[in-house]
Amino acid sequence: MEQRLTMNQPHPPTAEEVNQRLIAQYTEIATLAGGLAHEIKNPLSTICLNMELLAEDFADAATPRDRRALSKIAVVQQECQRLQSLLDNFLQFAKVRTVRFEASDLNAEVRRVLEFFAPKAQESGIELVAYLDPDLPSVVLDRESFHGALINLVLNAQQAMPRGGQLVVRTRTAATGVALELIDTGVGLDKKTAGQIFDAFFSTKPGGSGLGLPTTRKVVEAHGGRISVESEVGRGTKFTIDLPLPPRLTAARPS
């Protein structure tokens, strides 16, 4: 009897139980927030569409009153677009997705991103330089989400170099795995800003959602990796992504 009582007594949760509970709570909040964002998206797209129709009606505004109405419609349209892109970025950030990890060639993934970015880089006067280590060991990636994570970084680099510049992308073998560096010659970041850039909704750009880097960090961490930043105002910024090797390969590496 006494033994039974002892067994039923509450016990402090184990680290694993706390972890499971936190994951369950996170998943629930993310699902709710994602659902809410979806609910907002539909009426918002109706508003945007109707604003477009209104703008067409007022396109040949002749009176001052009509011209004033047209400029107000333009403001609402701009805000609608901002909200739409905020919701899309938020859904991307909050998505509870099933990841598909597979042995991948990081260099090939980097080339894919650079190919996508090349026309934009040329338009913006940005020189792309790639130093891709040919002996890079293979890593485990969920290619789709990792691609999105890299796109966020190159778009940020582009936006940091409004008058053009250079973006160096480098892969190399690191102490505990592989590293990927993106170095731009853009506006740079002061210390205080650098400490905030991974916070959700932090943005210094008009219309920026501030969800690009938090999403990138979430993806990198889901790969067991980490992302760090070094920067100097007026000189540029370097983002480094460290990725671990698959366990089998780590074990095979000499210590």
Ligand X SMILES: Nc1ncnc2c1ncn2[C@@H]1O[C@H](COP(=O)(O)OP(=O)(O)OP(=O)(O)O)[C@@H](O)[C@H]1O
| Residue ranges that bind Mg ion, judged by CB under 5 A | 156, 212
Q: Residue 178: which of 112, 133, 128 has the closest Cα?
A: 133
Q: Are strands 226-232 and 177-184 parallel, antiparallel or unpaired?
A: unpaired
Query: Which residues are CB-neighbours of 84 under 8 A, at least 6 positions away?
Result: 41, 44, 45, 48
Q: Are 198 and 174 in contact (CB under 8 A)?
A: no
Ranges within 131-160 binding ligand X (CB under 6 A): 152, 156-157, 160
- The span from the CA of 117 to the CA of 130, in Å, is 13
> How many residues belong to the chain?
255
Residue 197 interacts, among ligand X, Mg ion, none and using kind-specific CB cut-offs from 5 to 8 Å, with: ligand X
| Residue 18: CB minimum distance to ligand X, A | 29
The residue among 114 and 245 lying less far from ligand X, judged by its C-beta, is: 114
Instruction: For Mg ion, give the closer residue by CB, 177 or 212.
Output: 212
Q: Which is nearer to ligand X, 101 or 202 (CB)?
A: 202
C-alpha 150/C-alpha 162 separation (Å) is 19
Residue closer to Mg ion by CB (options 177, 186) is 186
What is the identity of the amino acid at 232?
E
In the region spanning residues 220 to 249, those forming contacts with ligand X, defined by CB under 6 A, are: 237
User: Taking CB under 6 A as the rule, does residue 89 contact ligand X?
Assistant: yes
Q: Which helix (H) or strand (E) holds 140?
A: strand 139-141
The site map against ligand X for 174-213 (x = CB under 6 A) is: ----------x-xxxx-------x----xxxx--xxxxxx
- Does 165 interact with ligand X (rule: CB under 6 A)? no
Task: Report the interface residues with ligand X, using CB under 6 A.
Answer: 89, 152, 156-157, 160, 184, 186-189, 197, 202-205, 208-213, 237
